Amino acid sequence: MQTAVSTSSLDVLNRVFGYSAFRGEQEAIINQVISGQDALVLMPTGGGKSLCYQIPSIVRAGTGIVVSPLIALMHNQVTALKLQGVAVAFLNSSLSFQEVQAVEGQLMRGELDLLYVAPERLCQERTLNLLHQIDVALFAIDEAHCVSQWGHDFRPEYIQLSILHEQFPQVPRIALTATADESTRKEISLRLDLGAADLFISSFDRPNIRYRVQQKNNARAQLLQFINSEHPQDAGIVYCLSRKKVDETAAWLAEQGIKALPYHAGLSANVRQLHQERFLREDEIVIVATVAFGMGIDKPDVRYVAHMDLPKSIEAYYQETGRAGRDGLPADAWMVYGLQDVIMLRQMLSSSEAIEEVKRLEQRKLEAMLGFCEIISCRRASLLGYFGEQPEPRCGNCDNCLEPVESWEGTTEAQKALSCVFRTGQRFGVNYLIDVLRGKLTPRIEQFRHNEVSTFAIGQELTEVQWRSVFRQLMARGLLAVDMDGYGSLKLTEDSRPILRGEETVHFRKDIVRAKKAPRRKKTSTVYSSYSDHSEEKKIWEALRTKRTELAQEQGVPAYIIFHDATLMEMVEHHPVSLHELSQISGVGASKLEKYGDEFLEVLMAME
């Protein structure tokens, strides 16, 4: 399409992408790049990073070169842009020699607005030579945190990208990432030689995501209840810590009639590919996965991310939950957490063979994660505060805001628990200690003659469940440590002393045993799941969705590439009856209007 230089960015936003206004910092970033300056962009997942380089590539003369680390991701973006009428291609190892030649021809003839390139391909002599012969509009470095050697997405090829600045000093560069922490940001700036670039940091808040943490009692049943009652027909991701648990959970959900598929590094590449494709293309797939699943999943309509185990850090948690609701519609981050999680993670840490410094860092991250689980104040405020922001104290869209948690003064109970650990020799796990406190005469207790210690039967005022809650919270706060022995024996810590001596008081969170039914969402955030069963709206919604699936299958692309849920919802709401009215719907650009307008209008007219 190669548009004229005079095209304004707002015009491109309206005409090509079908959106009416820029979001947040988009406009400032786009202007910066169009004017030929460098930019480093930190924006949360779903914030709208892609447009920040796509629009300048279209507006500026020449071709925008986009470096992207994952072939699957590249493929999807290119497919989506083509449907929007943008002249775009990609170069990576999945192409045949003939295909490469064809793309290179287009590039040389100046026919492309955008070219997506794998980093290793870009740094080849051959590619660089080509680029020297054409007009390069800009270099965009997507997922720029891949240059960070300390991050888990490190890609050695990314380090070489510093040559772009050396070889093309006059071409503006824009580096983008959703990784928020300071050290990664500095590393990007240093390695890509972006010290002089303007920094654009957006708030990392994801207001459409509702954060909830439930006490684990029967994790699977809780998960099923959550899915069935809140997301029966939605796409979701369920994270588990181990491969074995992934397999078991996926199989169990499937038995319960949920379309669940496993994903982890132990499965063959073919199976992984197949499951990922189905997740992207079909509407209702639930992926049960280890952390191996994630980067490059840009499916916009993932309605929830569920954690069956505790993530290792807040950074990991935030990144994983951030995969929900990229389209801005309401989504859930839901987690179950319990005593066993604390014991297991504490054990993993103490038996870790990492060097002291790394261990201490891991330890701190885990403490922050545990703190997040146990807080009784706003979860979002705690998350954003962790990333250095100063948020409102109450968000109104997390469990603690929606259903305030009570606390209780438990100094005496804490003392009983701690002295029981001491009196029994710091050699026993939670279950045993609770039996001693509650005065249960088990053979083991008799064998060790712990029915004779002073803490035997002094804790009958609390139930077993309540004691487990006390022990969990003591551990989460570092008032009890888990021994390295692998049996989960508990030991006192330095911090336990002031409590035993009565110098400090302790307050505990009152666990909500059974969460009340999730409050209904506000009308302003209508989701299709709130259309009532036999309503007109629901019928139209389903007819539109069927049409979308039909087109997607015909063309072999993910359904969301045709139109996002948000776009279909607007169609339900405004019920356009002409091409002109349809073109006013957000997400309907000129090219899609031409390709799909008639077919969707037909569906809408038939429903009148």
Residue 330 binding ligand ADP, by CB under 6 A: no
Residue 398 binding Zn ion, by CB under 5 A: yes
Nearer to Zn ion, 366 or 398 (CB): 398
Q: Give the Å distances, CA to CA, from 94 to 29, 81, 117, 383.
A: 32, 19, 11, 39
Please give the radius of gyration of the chain, using alpha carbons only, rounded to the nearest integer: 27
| All residues at 6 or more sequence positions from 454 whose CB lies less than 8 Å from its CB, including other chains | 419, 423
Question: What does 212 interact with, of Zn ion, ligand ADP, none (CB < 5 to 8 A by kind)?
Answer: none
- 299 token code pair: 């499916």
When binding is defined by CB under 6 A, the residue of 326, 416, 472, 545 that contacts ligand ADP is: 326
Residue 589 binding ligand ADP, by CB under 6 A: no
Question: What does 327 interact with, of Zn ion, ligand ADP, none (CB < 5 to 8 A by kind)?
Answer: ligand ADP
Residue 145 binding ligand ADP, by CB under 6 A: no
CA-CA distance, 350 to 221, in Å (whole number)? 31
Residue 62 binding ligand ADP, by CB under 6 A: no
- 312 token code pair: 């290792």
Question: What does 23 interact with, of ligand ADP, Zn ion, none (CB < 5 to 8 A by kind)?
Answer: ligand ADP
Q: Nearest approach, Cβ of 278 to ligand ADP (angstroms)?
A: 20
Stretch that binds ligand ADP, among 22-30, 114-122, 274-282, 547-555 (CB under 6 A): 22-30
The footprint of ligand ADP on residues 470-499 (CB under 6 A) is none
Question: First CA to last CA across the chain, in angstroms?
Answer: 37
Assign residue 2 a region (left: φ > 0; alpha: ψ between -120 and 50; beta: otherwise): left
Q: Tell how many helices (H) and how many strands (E) occur in the chain.
A: 28, 17
| Full DSSP string of 525-575 | G--GGGS-TT-HHHHHHHHHHHHHHHHHHHHTS-HHHH--HHHHHHHHHH-
Stretch that binds Zn ion, among 257-265, 306-314, 397-405, 595-603 (CB under 5 A): 397-405
**Which residue's C-beta sits nearest to ligand ADP?**
48
Q: Nearest approach, Cβ of 335 to ligand ADP (angstroms)?
A: 22
CA-CA distance, 350 to 338, in Å (whole number)? 19
- The amino acid sitting at 90 is F
> x/- contact string, 536-575, with ligand ADP (CB under 6 A)?
----------------------------x-----------
Q: Exposed e or buried b for every residue in 455-469, given b needs 16+ CB within 10 A?
A: bbebbeebeeebbbb
Residue 161 binding Zn ion, by CB under 5 A: no
When binding is defined by CB under 6 A, the residue of 25, 298, 341, 374 that contacts ligand ADP is: 298
* Residue among 191, 220, 17 at smallest CA distance from 119: 191
* Residue among 253, 336, 243 at smallest CA distance from 290: 243
Neighbours of 584 (CB within 10 A): 13
Answer for the pair 40, 198: CB distance below 8 angstroms, yes or no: yes
CA-CA distance, 242 to 357, in Å (whole number)? 26
Neighbours of 117 (CB within 10 A): 22
Q: Nearest approach, Cβ of 62 to ligand ADP (angstroms)?
A: 22
CA-CA distance, 433 to 430, in Å (whole number)? 5
- The amino acid sitting at 493 is T
Three-class SS string for 315-374?
HHHHHHHCCCCCCCCCEEEEEEECHHHHHHHHHHHHCCCCCHHHHHHHHHHHHHHHHHHH
Q: Nearest approach, Cβ of 190 to ligand ADP (angstroms)?
A: 23
Q: Nearest approach, Cβ of 234 to Zn ion (angstroms)?
A: 23
Which residue carries 């049943």 as its tokens? Answer: 221
Question: What does 378 interact with, of ligand ADP, Zn ion, none (CB < 5 to 8 A by kind)?
Answer: Zn ion
CA-CA distance, 378 to 363, in Å (whole number)? 23
User: What strands lie across the sheet with 302-307, from one edge to the other?
Assistant: 209-215, 331-337, 302-307, 235-239, 286-289, 260-263
Residue 48 binding ligand ADP, by CB under 6 A: yes
Question: What does 401 interact with, of Zn ion, ligand ADP, none (CB < 5 to 8 A by kind)?
Answer: Zn ion
Q: Nearest approach, Cβ of 526 to ligand ADP (angstroms)?
A: 17
When binding is defined by CB under 6 A, the residue of 39, 51, 339, 342 that contacts ligand ADP is: 51
CA-CA distance, 411 to 502, in Å (whole number)? 8
When binding is defined by CB under 5 A, the residue of 34, 65, 324, 395 that contacts Zn ion is: 395
Stretch that binds ligand ADP, among 38-46, 81-89, 308-316, 575-583 (CB under 6 A): 38-46
- 561 token code pair: 């590439």
Residue 158 binding ligand ADP, by CB under 6 A: no
The footprint of Zn ion on residues 331-390 (CB under 5 A) is 378, 380
When binding is defined by CB under 5 A, the residue of 366, 401, 562, 571 that contacts Zn ion is: 401
Query: What is the phi/psi pair of residue 26, to 5°?
Result: -50, -50
CA-CA distance, 586 to 592, in Å (whole number)? 12
Nearer to ligand ADP, 275 or 326 (CB): 326
Nearer to ligand ADP, 44 or 576 (CB): 44
Nearer to ligand ADP, 66 or 107 (CB): 66
When binding is defined by CB under 6 A, the residue of 266, 300, 391, 429 that contacts ligand ADP is: 300
Q: Nearest approach, Cβ of 235 to ligand ADP (angstroms)?
A: 14
> x/- contact string, 338-377, with ligand ADP (CB under 6 A)?
----------------------------------------
When binding is defined by CB under 6 A, the residue of 19, 239, 263, 508 that contacts ligand ADP is: 19
Q: Nearest approach, Cβ of 451 to ligand ADP (angstroms)?
A: 60
| Contacts with ligand ADP, residue ranges (CB under 6 A) | 19, 22-23, 26, 43, 45-51, 298, 300, 326-327, 564
Query: Under the rule (CB under 5 A), what is the footprint of Zn ion?
Result: 378, 380, 395, 398, 401
